[in-house]
Structure 1
Amino acid sequence: MTPVMKLKKRFYFLVASYFRFFANISFRRWRPRVIAITGSVGKTTMLNLVECILKDRAHYSHDANSAYGIAFDILKLTGVTGSKLKWLYLFIAAPIKSIFYTHKEEFYVVEIDGERPHEAEFLASWLKPEVTLWISLGLSHAVQFEQQVKDGLFENLDKAITHEFAMLPEHTQKLVIIDNDVELMVRALDSIKQKGLTQARVIKCSKKDLVKYQVMPNQTKFEIQSAESGETRRYQFNRPLSKDLTIQLVMLEKLAEYLKIKIDSDLSDFRLAPGRNSYFEGKNGVQIIDSSYNAHLISVKSILEMFKAMKVEHKWLVIGDIVDQGSIEGQEHAKLAAEIIKVKPEKIILIGRRTKKYTAPLLKEAGIVPYVTNDPKEALAYLEKHLSGSETILFKGSQYLEWIIEKILKNPADAKKLPRREKAAIKRRQKRGLN
């Protein structure tokens, strides 16, 4: 790590500590029951599921999961989304808000990211959640943890990232809920309990409780049967969702049982943040599934399995690069090719230098010829030229896919439901000539 990078890291937590100090004044007056949600992917989905059962009894950290974002959320401040001059306002506003502002809800449902080393610990040691839901574990933001492996702190990236997320269970007071099907997660929790680092009760959930799954572009049904009681529950959503949501539904049931709350089986009102499994009507009858918010292999694999299970004809894929993978980007994009092959799509459009370099050659070896480009404008031109109107298109990954979707929407007003609508994102697209 260069001296400049070390300085940036120290500065990040130094400034974050400033905002945490003042946010803690408001937080201690509030004294909510904290439910923390962490994991490599799916945190926002889990937060929105919890919102379905707690409703207005809780405040939710929508759009905030970092050391800065959570402090701002507690003080009811908006982070830096426009001018950098806003930092001056935030430095002045935080002390004032800490004196006068306090949330009133009984619960604080907070999403906590493990994007960089020590951030989860920074937040967990402060918030000390009553309940932690650790929903997933994978190599997201792997590039941030490579230095820890190089320095010999951990054997590999898996262990470095697992250790980061495990900071939440270590600081949890009452209940930890995890995925029993993820071996690294289970081993981490067993070690924490054996060392006496937490007195919290641990509940291990499993996707094996799923007995039936049906998905369409605009609807999903789950049937789950408890291995303990034998009771069967059915859930219905008005959007396409992956089979992996099963683990979150089982976790939701365990949380509801702990809180003594009943879950409504009709979750049609369940909402997701933009770019996460949204369904849109496209021009000339095209069906669009927008999952373009992010792309880590674990989420890409999940969404591709969903698409494979969907009973529709003429499946098309538009896949952008998986970013923030550092030295493992080659192997992750090679795995991506294997997952794409399983879907057997009619057409594949790859966008980005990584998919071009690592994914496309493996698809060609398998007898699949994708359309490959580094330019979203070229990808849009290809779609507009070849779409007949009978296709269902899944968008997943980076490379400004939201801009492409906007151009093929049937109803232009739906653009406001797409991800990255903030000013900074608009400016980034404009710099690429995407107007």
Structure 2
Amino acid sequence: MKMEALHALFLEHPTICTDTRKVTDNCLFFALKGPNFNGNAFAQEALDKGATYAIIDETDYNTSDKFILCEDVLETLQQLATYHRKQCKAKIISLTGSNGKTTTKELINAVISKKYKTIATKGNLNNHIGVPLTLLSIQEDTEMAIVEMGANHIGEIEMLCNIAQPDFGYITNFGKAHLEGFGSVEGVIQGKSELYNFIRSNGGHIFFNADDPIQKEKLNSCTKKIGFSTTDHQFYNIEFLKANPFVTLKVEETTITTQLIGKYNFPNCCAAIIMGKYFNVPLEEIKSAIESYQPQNNRSQILEKNGFKIILDAYNANPTSMKAALENFSLMDAEHKTLIIGDMFELGTTATEEHQAIADLAKELNFQDVYLVGKNFFGTQTDLLQFETFDALKAHLEDQPLKKGTLLIKGSRGMALERVLDLV
């Protein structure tokens, strides 16, 4: 089936499903494959559950006119997304970076949606499957689409850009994330910069943090750029006021008090502000959008439970975000600060060195209590409390409960440290 015909079919049945557990009536089922599953084997089940058609790529399963046979289901999904994107009037804002992507995406969407009909990446569906699904959620009346892009190796952002064809781009930062795939921080910079390279090559506009020397240098010769800075007056100036605990900033003569903790969230807010200004969203609407935004899904959430004030930041972690979180926590006005941190994943050969550096920092910052959790932290040389598994931590805390006060919980997603909430 030609792409034009498949797209016409999609417009008649604009719901895409890739999981038979989530099939809805009249959807299109794309039989994707993975290391441990073959979607072709579930295509008939999808039809039985209400899917109108199933897109497959193995002839053995092509048993009725309800199956659409293609060469590769994933490539077809991606090509359909690009075709659909080109038929729509929506402008695409893409963003990537080592830390803060999802929070920044949510802030941008909150601001831009004050004036425009928007869609944005749901959750962190930011990979080679999530980006196409986001693009296919663009409707006829959508004016702006905010598309988050994640990557763990060089070439991935370029591939996602070729699918999404963004008009605008923003990189949050370059940090020590996914070093196993990128190989080094230099690899991270090269990989993430693929977004700026694509935008620049295709005549689009770039938003950037002019206080980031790496971004400033890379965009030195770029003419279509919109920057923010706390000091350089050739760019849009935004003043950082405080983050104790919530980020407060000043734009022109307007003070904005967010519900986001940590100075590391300041540039995330700035990105949303300059995009709002660029797209002519009134400043009072920008203020309203940012002040009303509340983090969700274990991302720097502030919770109160049983006399504890808890900062739950257990969605993800890497050396850059961990260092920022610990330093911010050390500066907070709080009684009896307790730190529970878990292993940082995907660090490759640097894992030992990076975990030792964080353990040393946790010791240096003199928190009242520190608990290190996970195999990597268990292997560090320190006199802080170390637990190889979560169950070992749990057993310890059941015997010696945490002392009341302020608690920071941070670790990689695989550590699932939100389970600590059941122990306070």
TM-score, scaled relative to structure 2: 0.73
Residues 1:268 and 1:178: Cα distance change in structure 2 (over 3 Å): closer
Indicate the residue corresponding to 2:41 in structure 1: none
- Aligned-pair distance for 1:383? 2.9
Indicate the residue corresponding to 2:409 in structure 1: 395
Q: Is the 8 A contact 1:210 1:246 kept in 2?
A: no
Matched, 1:188 2:249: no
- Aligned-pair distance for 1:176? 0.9
SS in 2 for 1:383: helix
CA RMSD of aligned residues (A): 2.6
Indicate the residue corresponding to 2:243 in structure 1: 214
**Letter in structure 1 aligned against 2:219:** L
- Aligned-pair distance for 1:112? 0.9
Indicate the residue corresponding to 1:130 in structure 2: 167
- Aligned-pair distance for 1:408? 3.3
Matched, 1:224 2:247: no
Q: How does 1:163-312 map to 2 (within 5 A)?
A: 163-172=190-199, 173-190=203-220, 193=221, 201-206=224-229, 209-216=238-245, 220-224=246-250, 231-238=252-259, 240-263=260-283, 264-266=286-288, 267-282=290-305, 284-312=306-334
- Aligned-pair distance for 1:15? 5.9
- Aligned-pair distance for 1:403? 4.7
Q: Is the 8 A contact 2:409 2:418 kept in 1?
A: no
Which stretch of structure 1 is more off in the superposition, 305-314 or 19-28? 19-28
For these two proteins, the number of residue pairs brought into alignment is: 340
The structure 1 residue matched to 2:390, chosen from 373, 376, 382, is 376
Which stretch of structure 1 is more off in the superposition, 170-179 or 286-295? 170-179
Name which structure has the greater RCO, CA cutoff 8 Å, separation 6+. Answer: 1
Identity over aligned pairs, percent: 20
Residues 1:389 and 1:344: Cα distance change in structure 2 (over 3 Å): closer
* Matches of 2:291 and 2:365, distance apart in 1: 27
- Aligned-pair distance for 1:379? 1.1
Q: Is the 8 A contact 1:395 1:401 kept in 2?
A: no
Indicate the residue corresponding to 2:351 in structure 1: 329
Q: Is the 8 A contact 2:342 2:372 kept in 1?
A: yes
- Aligned-pair distance for 1:286? 1.5
1:329-386 Cα distance to aligned partner (Å, 9 max, x none): 122223213432353210111111111223xx1xx3xxxx321111212212333443
The structure 1 residue matched to 2:187, chosen from 160, 164, 182, is 160
* Matches of 1:160 and 1:187, distance apart in 2: 17
* Matches of 1:180 and 1:26, distance apart in 2: 34
Residues 1:182 and 1:337: Cα distance change in structure 2 (over 3 Å): farther
**Letter in structure 1 aligned against 2:214:** L
SS in 2 for 1:265: helix
* Matches of 1:123 and 1:318, distance apart in 2: 35
1:1-42 Cα distance to aligned partner (Å, 9 max, x none): xxxxxxx9xxxxx76433211222322222310111111110
* Matches of 2:133 and 2:210, distance apart in 1: 34
TM-score, scaled relative to structure 1: 0.72
* Matches of 1:405 and 1:333, distance apart in 2: 21
Q: Is the 8 A contact 2:256 2:291 kept in 1?
A: no
- Please state which structure has a larger fraction of its residues in strand: 2
* Matches of 1:105 and 1:200, distance apart in 2: 28
Unaligned runs of 5+ in 1: 1-7, 9-13, 77-100, 147-156, 194-198, 226-230, 410-435
Indicate the residue corresponding to 2:121 in structure 1: 61
Residues 1:388 and 1:349: Cα distance change in structure 2 (over 3 Å): closer
Indicate the residue corresponding to 1:408 in structure 2: 423
Unaligned runs of 5+ in 2: 1-34, 36-71, 232-237
SS in 2 for 1:105: coil
Residues 1:145 and 1:400: Cα distance change in structure 2 (over 3 Å): closer
Which is higher, the Rg of structure 1 or of structure 2?
Answer: 2
